[in-house]
Structure 1
Amino acid sequence: MNFSDYIFHQPITLTNCDREPIHIPNAIQPHGVLLIFNEDNWQITLVSDNTDSILGYSPQELLNQSLSKILSTEDIDAITHCLDRDFEAINPLNLKVCNAAQETINFSGIVHRSLENLIILELEPVHQKETYDFLGFYQLTRQLLAKIKHASNVSILSQLIAEEIREITNFDRVMVYRFDLDGSGEVIAEAKQPDLHTYLGLRYPDSDIPKQAKELYRLNKLRLIPNVNYQPAALIPNLSPVTQKSPDLSLSVLRSVSPLHIEYLQNMQVGASMSISILKNNRLWGLIACHHQSSKYISYHVRTFCELIGQLMSIELSNKEDQENLNDKITLKNLLSHFVESISESEDFIDVLSQNKSRLLQLVNASGAAVISNNVIMLLGRTPLENQVQELIDWIIPNLQNNLYYTNALPQVYSPAEQFKELSSGIIAISITKTHRNLIIWFRPEVIQTVDWGGNPEKQKNIDEKGNLILSPRKSFEKWQEIVQLKSLPWQKYEIEAVIELRSVIVGIILKKADELAVINEQLQESNNELDAFAYIASHDLKEPLRGIHNYASFLLEDYRHQLDEDGVHKLDTLMQLTNRMENLINALLHFSRLSRTELYRTDIRLNDLANNVLNVLKISQSEHQINVEIADDFPLVQADRILVEEIYTNLMSNAIKYNEKPEKEIEIGWTIGKPHWALIDHQCFHQDVPVFYVKDNGIGIREKHFESIFRIFKRLHGRSQYGGGTGAGLTIVKKIVERHGGQIWVESKLMEGTTFYFTLAKSNEN
């Protein structure tokens, strides 16, 4: 039977390499024996087929037999105690096995529960009398801890560990191999025989260690292959009678390894290997890889000590990595402190960021940045063009994870970035608030690098007799250089953390200010309600005495005009005019106060029909003027209060006629989605996918300094007798109606050229 038949029943191809089921190889390495037994009756249900050479019993002689056939009651009791305890703390057990010749042989027994809850016992012969000096072990550990403590960074720590492992095991070569974020790895430390060429500094592609192999390294922290050229011992039967599946050997120390990995080691001219996993936060950070040119067996006790060294390194990693780039980290902390102080004192965090351009770039060592607020883009430093950034934002937003996205190879995932690779081959982006598209993006330029690989990173591809594309490990591990383009310098972990912290600071301050504004708005709402009620009561109660004064003055004129001189009659006429004006003002105030409490009755409205109706009414009172009115005929259907919207158009159209000194008065009534070409102001509503309605004229215009004040109640820009008079409440009422509908209104104008009023009748993305 071929070696690979134990491992995988299909050829290993480019499409299935990452799915090779290496955790269920149905075979073990032959330097030990594997037994699976029932916990209830200790009956052996599955056994490796090499028991004859090691125990003197054929597999058939052991299957369905009790463990007592080969183990004493004392040893079985020891295994029983193991089943209820932490296996790693107990293994290995010193077991005495009785072979077929009734001889007692010493074994290291390793017992564990598989991930399928099967009880697995592995037996490794003790080849020589091993003595374990506890005091010596303690001294070694103590000395190692002292050395680890004094290692100033990860590089020195890694070299120390490589040297210690080689000293203990006497392997020809020991390397510390660190994984990168993309899955590739680099040899960062090496201890070796002087005559061997070095692998230090060489990189290896992600595909050299497939994903499922990395997961096994995470689960099983040490693996030994004493003889790379071994013939595997098959499991009999190949399916467990309990699960009816091949047993899961993920945690087995004897598990047979992938034939692809064996070929890989043979190509490296390695005769034996041992690997120790280095974990950080329960994730695979790297490996301690040990290679020997000939076969080499390491006892379980020594392997356990090596595993302990790997765990000590894992524990110390965080401390050492925190010490690296300490000055940069302190600088970032100072920058963040400055931003916290500045943003908390400012009304707008965008202003703070724009005023601290150099600090914002220094925060992540970037060459440029874009600050986006409500689709308005502010560019800082060296960046792509604004339209390129806008398209990039549309791509980034769906790719955000936890409000963050970063890459140092943007052109490889976003092809348009090749056009501006010298400005941005790397980006890091944070979303402040998703609803208003508030983001910050930092840019890094392309940095062309030379990468030293341990041989050509491409695996060798062969075609089998059926035409399948077969993978074969590369055979060369000599230094192979690659020029890497379309990449920036990588983002460091502490830089990513600084960006996340900056976002937290901004969001925290925004939320705090939002709470403060909510309280103020609540107070203002109460005040507005009280003012509305007061205005309604006051205007209602004032109308009766005012009407009495008007009537009384009228009676005086009718009854006593002949007795009064010209001055007396003039004064009574003036009094009546003032009472009429006062009543108009009170009616306007009363109408304005009612708008806040009146319920809206929304119906479907075609605004071109409504505008034509308003025009027909206005023409009756404006028949002496030459008025040219153009009304669009394709208005969208809107849901609004017909009476109130009619009042909007009545006020705006009558103002367009009233404040116009030209012989021919031009009025255009229409709508748009997006900014029209004539618009002077790039208002945010043009970018919110809602209809924007407008009334445009060629009248006298308004000075820019009055754009806000014209919407204040009773605010007039001209004398009472100019342009037909008026109360000055019309535009205030229009603004109130627009806001009641959830919309906005604004004006743009050029003096003596004309005015355009824009308004919406719905919130963003509402119809």
Structure 2
Amino acid sequence: MQNYPNLSVDLSNCDNEPIHIIGRIQPHGFLIILNRHTLEVEQASDNIHQFLDADAKALTGKTLESITTGNEYDSLLLLLGNNNSQYAHILQLQGRKFFAFLHLSEGSLVLECESFEHGTNDEKRLEVISTYSKLQIDLEAADSPEIQSQLVVDFVQRLLDYDRVMLYRFDENWNGEVIAEKVKPGIHSYLYHHFPATDIPAQARALLALKPIRQIANAAGTAVNIVPYINPTTGKPSNIIESELRNPSEIHLEYLRNMDVQATLSISVQMKGKLWGIIACQHQTPVFINYWRRQLCRNVAQAYANALISKQEMRDVSLLEHKKQQEEQLLRQVLKSGSISEGLFSEDLNLLHLTEATGAALYLDNQLYTKGITPTHEQLQDLLQWITENVQSRVFSTRALAALYPAAAAYISQASGLLVLEISKFKRDYILYFKPEIQESRIWAGNPEKPVVTDSVRIYPRKSFNKWTELVKGKSQPWSVNEEEITQHLLKDMVSVLLKNQTDALTGLNNELKKTTNALSSKNKRLEEFAHIISHNLRSPLSNMQGLCNLYTTKGEVAHRTDIIEMMQTMIRNMAATIDDLNLILKSESELGLEWQQIDLQEIIEKELQTMKPLILQTNATFTTDLAVTTITAPKVYMESILHNLLSNALKYRSPERAPVVQVSTWQERDTIWLQVSDNGLGMNLDKVGGRLFAMYATFHRNKEAKGLGLYLTKMQIEALGGAINVASAPDKGTTFIVSLPVAK
């Protein structure tokens, strides 16, 4: 008999098989479909007379009051007001008790009933409760998923006495594998066998997720029609997808016959809201499992799922914590080395330690770095191009790269599995992890690729479930949640490092720009001063020379001409001295880019004192040094010039009342080196000097040797080194110059 009038269904379209409008139920209960507003019967199963004094066809269009006695109708109305399909209700009709199941379907109420059973006696019930409690304890104490799985199938088989109880787990492609099994003697085992996804089509899996328990009590039983097939209110078949009693499809029934199975019970195992697997019970003869035991199996499945999740999370958290510590150490290595490639690719701890990958690659700033077993550089360049063009997410993984990128078939032994971490798509910067191919034997319950038998009407389900072995190629071990999570931590930290490096680089460039701007500004200012000097110190003497030349031509007497020539010679000497000074300034300017080197300060001081020795002896001067810092990194010519000017000034501006005493000292505070030169000389009134102390040609004592260039050059050179110079002085109390210089890095 066809389940669907005027509709042909075969294996080629079984995913779209309309099992929701199958129009038939199993015979161990009855079904009534009611108008939710009027509570009039729209449809009923043709076997209702086997349970109640009622006829399906005669009942259509009437209310249920006609099949109730006493106050049963009031109780029924209360039930109909609570359309919770998750649990059964106890309902009494015509003096008989039923388990009643109620749910709402496309505007209609679907009421289903199966005969009520009191269940087991008190002693048996106590035994079952005790055994179930022990199962929960054992599940939590079990050391492995394999032990947990076996505990479950053992318990369910003892509880229900089915010939075969299997724990069936789905893979990422919805193929199933039997990971635990309990069978009676003489029953064929499917342990570790695989079943193709087509054995449980997409809509059947969706139904298992929606309704955790599905029973087929007798696959050979006669199905019961729902009459009429077309709902008179809606004008179409009623949707009974959530029905407890819905009859299986013809394809599924034939599938069971081919397995020599007449009764099944399927309990879905859901992990975090997703269908994970099935506890599949099978028997060679009809078996009806009452509601009490079905619900207990549902609780067993949930307890198993909770125990699996709990153990897995404990293992995951412990492993993840260890990997996080390694990732943090990698980050410290990167920060210490200042290089992502050096930090991630060291020998002791590197990025491979974070995963089970056997190879890794980093493509950063157009440079390719590899670790472990990887494709060649040329192959990696092509792979990176494919990733850039085809991978849209920042984190991407596959265990079968060649299936997505055929060129990867050339190196499946190195990189069947790929994990991609995108650092920058714009710059094409990536971290790649690789896992090798694992060739594994997969045992199928029958050949999943073997064509099924066909005739002119339909395609039949496969008839053979004999052992068939397949060699799985081109796949790696899957990427675990831990691997993806810890590598995302790595990605986040490396992006942060890059952003910090870019920020530091921009800050450094900005600082360099500021220094360059300040240097140019300072140089421009000096050029203005230079132009002023030329204008003042050369133009005026030249004008005077012009006047003397005119005078020379008008004065005829030799004596007058001799005087004029002497005056002209004096002016020429003064202009020559000015030009020498300007050359000195220009020389100092040209030395701004001199090489920096480590300098012995004591050596420079002793050299300068040796040069000044005649004047030291003449003035009976005393020089002492207290050098906490003995070396400094700077252009040597600058430090020689700075110390020469400061030390020579100490003698040049000595007091006539006492012998000169000069103290030179150095020390360091954090990133600054201090140089101090103190004397007991003439000193000066800084209030009167004001800001002119370091100006060009500024002199404040009557000393024929004073030109006013030394301190000007000293300040210019110190500032060129990034430092500063300050002075403390008072008339007849001496002078102290304090120089601060940054520690060269």
TM-score in terms of structure 2 length = 0.69
1:63 and 2:60 aligned: yes
1:158 and 2:149 aligned: yes
* Structure 2: distance between partners of 1:266 and 1:456: 18
* Structure 2: distance between partners of 1:567 and 1:399: 81
1:422 and 2:427 aligned: no
Paired position in structure 2 for 1:167: 158
Say if 1:554 and 1:394 are closer, same or farther in 2 by CA, change over 3 A: same
Paired position in structure 2 for 1:548: 532
The question of whether the paired residues in 2 share the 8 Å contact of 1:95 and 1:106 is answered with yes
Identity in percent: 30
* Structure 1: distance between partners of 2:511 and 2:350: 43
Alignment of 1:533-682 (within 5 A): 545-552=529-536, 553-560=538-545, 563-564=568-569, 568=574, 570-571=576-577
The question of whether the paired residues in 1 share the 8 Å contact of 2:25 and 2:225 is answered with yes
Say if 1:579 and 1:505 are closer, same or farther in 2 by CA, change over 3 A: closer
Note the alpha carbon deviations across 1:225-282, whole angstroms, 9 max, x for none.
0111234333334344555543333322112223222221111010111100000010
Paired position in structure 1 for 2:432: 441
Letter in 2 for 1:184: N
1:123 and 2:108 aligned: no
Paired position in structure 1 for 2:379: 388
Say if 1:86 and 1:398 are closer, same or farther in 2 by CA, change over 3 A: farther
1:51 and 2:56 aligned: no
How many residues matched? 568
The question of whether the paired residues in 2 share the 8 Å contact of 1:550 and 1:575 is answered with no
The question of whether the paired residues in 1 share the 8 Å contact of 2:352 and 2:359 is answered with yes
Structure exhibiting the larger radius of gyration computed from Cα positions: 2
Deviation, 1:175, is 0.5
The question of whether the paired residues in 2 share the 8 Å contact of 1:27 and 1:234 is answered with yes
Structure 1 gaps, min length 5: 99-103, 587-767
Say if 1:464 and 1:476 are closer, same or farther in 2 by CA, change over 3 A: closer
* Structure 1: distance between partners of 2:329 and 2:588: 57
Say if 1:585 and 1:347 are closer, same or farther in 2 by CA, change over 3 A: closer
The question of whether the paired residues in 1 share the 8 Å contact of 2:168 and 2:278 is answered with yes
* Structure 2: distance between partners of 1:508 and 1:523: 18
Say if 1:143 and 1:445 are closer, same or farther in 2 by CA, change over 3 A: closer
Deviation, 1:44, is 1.5
* Structure 2: distance between partners of 1:358 and 1:454: 45
1:11 and 2:9 aligned: yes
* Structure 2: distance between partners of 1:207 and 1:504: 41
Picking from 82, 90, 93, the partner of 1:94 is 90
Paired position in structure 1 for 2:609: none
Paired position in structure 1 for 2:470: 482
What secondary structure, in the 3-state scheme, does the structure 2 residue paired with 1:436 have? coil
The question of whether the paired residues in 1 share the 8 Å contact of 2:54 and 2:67 is answered with no
The question of whether the paired residues in 2 share the 8 Å contact of 1:23 and 1:216 is answered with no
Say if 1:582 and 1:505 are closer, same or farther in 2 by CA, change over 3 A: closer
Note the alpha carbon deviations across 1:656-703, whole angstroms, 9 max, x for none.
xxxxxxxxxxxxxxxxxxxxxxxxxxxxxxxxxxxxxxxxxxxxxxxx
Say if 1:253 and 1:328 are closer, same or farther in 2 by CA, change over 3 A: same
The question of whether the paired residues in 1 share the 8 Å contact of 2:330 and 2:349 is answered with no
TM-score in terms of structure 1 length = 0.67
* Structure 1: distance between partners of 2:260 and 2:390: 44
Alignment of 1:193-592 (within 5 A): 193-241=184-232, 243-322=234-313, 332-356=323-347, 359-397=350-388, 400=391, 402-458=393-449, 460-465=451-456, 470-507=458-495, 513=500, 518=503, 532=517, 545-552=529-536, 553-560=538-545, 563-564=568-569, 568=574, 570-571=576-577
What secondary structure, in the 3-state scheme, does the structure 1 residue paired with 2:345 have? helix
The question of whether the paired residues in 2 share the 8 Å contact of 1:46 and 1:235 is answered with yes
Picking from 22, 25, 32, the partner of 1:25 is 22
Deviation, 1:307, is 1.2
* Structure 2: distance between partners of 1:344 and 1:137: 61
Paired position in structure 1 for 2:133: 142
Letter in 1 for 2:55: S
* Structure 1: distance between partners of 2:222 and 2:174: 31
**Which of 362-371 and 341-350 deviates more?**
341-350
Deviation, 1:171, is 0.8
* Structure 1: distance between partners of 2:173 and 2:326: 30
The question of whether the paired residues in 2 share the 8 Å contact of 1:45 and 1:64 is answered with yes
* Structure 1: distance between partners of 2:301 and 2:25: 24
The question of whether the paired residues in 2 share the 8 Å contact of 1:546 and 1:583 is answered with no
The question of whether the paired residues in 2 share the 8 Å contact of 1:543 and 1:583 is answered with no
The question of whether the paired residues in 2 share the 8 Å contact of 1:153 and 1:323 is answered with no
Paired position in structure 2 for 1:735: none
* Structure 1: distance between partners of 2:192 and 2:141: 24
Paired position in structure 1 for 2:738: none
What secondary structure, in the 3-state scheme, does the structure 2 residue paired with 1:443 have? strand
Say if 1:45 and 1:277 are closer, same or farther in 2 by CA, change over 3 A: same
The question of whether the paired residues in 1 share the 8 Å contact of 2:83 and 2:104 is answered with no
* Structure 2: distance between partners of 1:241 and 1:574: 119
**Which of 380-389 and 29-38 deviates more?**
29-38
What secondary structure, in the 3-state scheme, does the structure 2 residue paired with 1:423 have? helix
What secondary structure, in the 3-state scheme, does the structure 1 residue paired with 2:134 have? helix
Letter in 1 for 2:2: F
Note the alpha carbon deviations across 1:412-450, whole angstroms, 9 max, x for none.
222111111222222222223333333221222223221
Note the alpha carbon deviations across 1:24-75, whole angstroms, 9 max, x for none.
3233223221212133332122222333444353322111111222235654
1:112 and 2:103 aligned: yes
Say if 1:324 and 1:82 are closer, same or farther in 2 by CA, change over 3 A: farther
1:39 and 2:36 aligned: yes
Deviation, 1:519, is 8.8
The question of whether the paired residues in 2 share the 8 Å contact of 1:3 and 1:232 is answered with no
Say if 1:501 and 1:19 are closer, same or farther in 2 by CA, change over 3 A: farther
The question of whether the paired residues in 2 share the 8 Å contact of 1:404 and 1:428 is answered with yes
The question of whether the paired residues in 2 share the 8 Å contact of 1:278 and 1:314 is answered with yes
The question of whether the paired residues in 1 share the 8 Å contact of 2:3 and 2:23 is answered with no
Deviation, 1:460, is 3.5
Deviation, 1:208, is 1.7
What secondary structure, in the 3-state scheme, does the structure 2 residue paired with 1:18 have? helix
Paired position in structure 2 for 1:674: none
**Which of 378-387 and 35-44 deviates more?**
35-44
**Which of 290-299 and 238-247 deviates more?**
238-247
- Aligned-CA RMSD value: 3.5
The question of whether the paired residues in 1 share the 8 Å contact of 2:541 and 2:575 is answered with no
Deviation, 1:461, is 3.2
Note the alpha carbon deviations across 1:704-755, whole angstroms, 9 max, x for none.
xxxxxxxxxxxxxxxxxxxxxxxxxxxxxxxxxxxxxxxxxxxxxxxxxxxx
Say if 1:457 and 1:383 are closer, same or farther in 2 by CA, change over 3 A: same
